[in-house]
Amino acid sequence: MTKYLKKPETGAFAAFLLTYVFFALATPGTGFVSINGTAGWLNLAAELGIVAIPVGLLMISGEFDLSIGSTVGAASMILALGTNQFGGPTWPMIVLALTAGGLIGLCNGLVVVKTKLPSFIVTLATNFIVIGATMGTSRLIANVTSSSIFASDSAKMVFAFRWGQANISILWWLLIAFIGYRVLSRTAFGNWIYATGGNEDSARAAGVPVERVKITLFVATGVAAALVGILQGIQWNSGNSTYGMGYVFQAPIVAVIGGVLLTGGYGSVVGIVFGTALFGVISSGIFYTGWNTDWIQLFLGLLLALAVLANNYVRRLALTSK
């Protein structure tokens, strides 16, 4: 029993199950549990989940990234300006947007590693710089802060395909979750992520390239955020500088609900996936109850507080029993 209690994902899984059952019982006959209802909460979870996984890995390594919000918006605007105002081809513009996301991550990583400033502050600054730069540049070029996207059919297939209500972003989420899971729990790099967050000095002394670990994760986070910007932009046929602002805190929140320790060094991808799914169920479930959606914030706040307490307990449990 303690074996399962000690795992970082157990709490998130239990909370997900409870919440799901709660909403299923509270909304009889509304279609929450139907295929379309399920697609609804999976859609909500998927795009958040794509950024939450690298953000969670980054948190396990002991760092934060609050710049994801503006990166999502910037990527969608690059695609919009590129395909609309400049009439460029879709795929190269997608590559450009992903590269921009990676570069933002690279800057975050280099500044955090070189200055040793808290990444919380560094990436908060980046978030403002990037959204400011995106809006300013868009205004200069086209006098807009949002604009239509003209995507090719092949890009629409890959980024905006739908089966009934289910978006293809759910598949992207599963793919990234699978990669994240493999990397974190099966590879040497995953071992280094845990070690870097667990005790940076010990990790460095043992020969772990802690700087490289952090920079790599910042870049991965930037690329993932740009991917979300592309997914949303092509789905909605438009780019907007303010896309993604909600993720700035939602992503770290679902990571913590998923069992990631705020202090770093502990957590799992399976946990983060359940934390994100829980978010999807709440956001969509509230809608089915007919209650005001303002309650979502209250729910999330309570869950976060509970999760922090539970994670602390799990950590102590892990350190006291064999």
Partner 1 sequence: MTHPLMELRNVDKFFGSTKALKDISMQVHPGKILCLLGDNGAGKSTLIKVLSGYHQPTNGTVLFEASETRFTGPRDARQRGIATVHQNVGSIPLMSVGRNFFLGAEPIKGKWPFRSIDTKKANKIAVEQMRKFGLTRVENGDQLVGTMSGGERQVLAIGRAMYFGAKMLILDEPTSALGVKEASMVLKMMRVARQNGVGIVFITHNARHAMSVGDDFCVLIQGEVAARFKRNEKSREDVLNLMAGGEDMTALEDDLEQID
| Paired tokens of 280 | 């999807």
299 alpha-carbon distance from chain centroid: 19
Which of 274, 246, 269, 260 is CA-nearest to residue 315?
Answer: 260
**Does 205 sit near partner 1 (CB under 8 A)?**
yes
- Contact between 116 and partner 1 by CB under 8 A: the answer reads no
**Burial (0-12, 13-18, 19+ Cβ within 10 Å), 188:** exposed
Determine if 198 is a binding residue for partner 1 (CB under 8 A): yes
Tell me: does residue 140 bind partner 1 (CB under 8 A). no
Contacting range for partner 1; rule: CB under 8 A; set: 47-55, 88-96, 226-234, 314-322: 314-322
When binding is defined by CB under 8 A, the residue of 2, 36, 202, 237 that contacts partner 1 is 202
Q: Which is nearer to partner 1, 293 or 321 (CB)?
A: 321
297 in contact with partner 1 (CB under 8 A): no
Q: Tell me if 64 contacts partner 1 by CB under 8 A.
A: no
In this chain, which of 112, 155, 208, 219 binds partner 1, going by CB under 8 A?
A: 208
Strands 166-167 and 146-148: unpaired
Count the Cβ atoms, other than its own, within 10 Å of residue 263: 13
- 140/319 with CB nearer partner 1: 319
User: CB 176 → partner 1: shortest distance, Å?
Assistant: 14
Nearer to partner 1, 34 or 187 (CB): 187
Q: What is the radius of gyration, based on Cα positions, of the chain?
A: 20
- Of 140 and 205, the one with the shorter C-beta distance to partner 1 is 205
* Selection from 240, 236, 237, 226 nearest residue 94 by Cα: 226
**Which amino acid is it at 110?**
L
Give the nearest distance from C-beta 271 to partner 1 in angstroms.
14
Let me know if 11 is exposed, middle or buried by CB neighbors in 10 A (0-12, 13-18, 19+): buried
Q: Name the site residues for partner 1 (rule: CB under 8 A).
A: 182, 186-188, 190-192, 194-195, 198-199, 201-209, 265-266, 315, 318-322
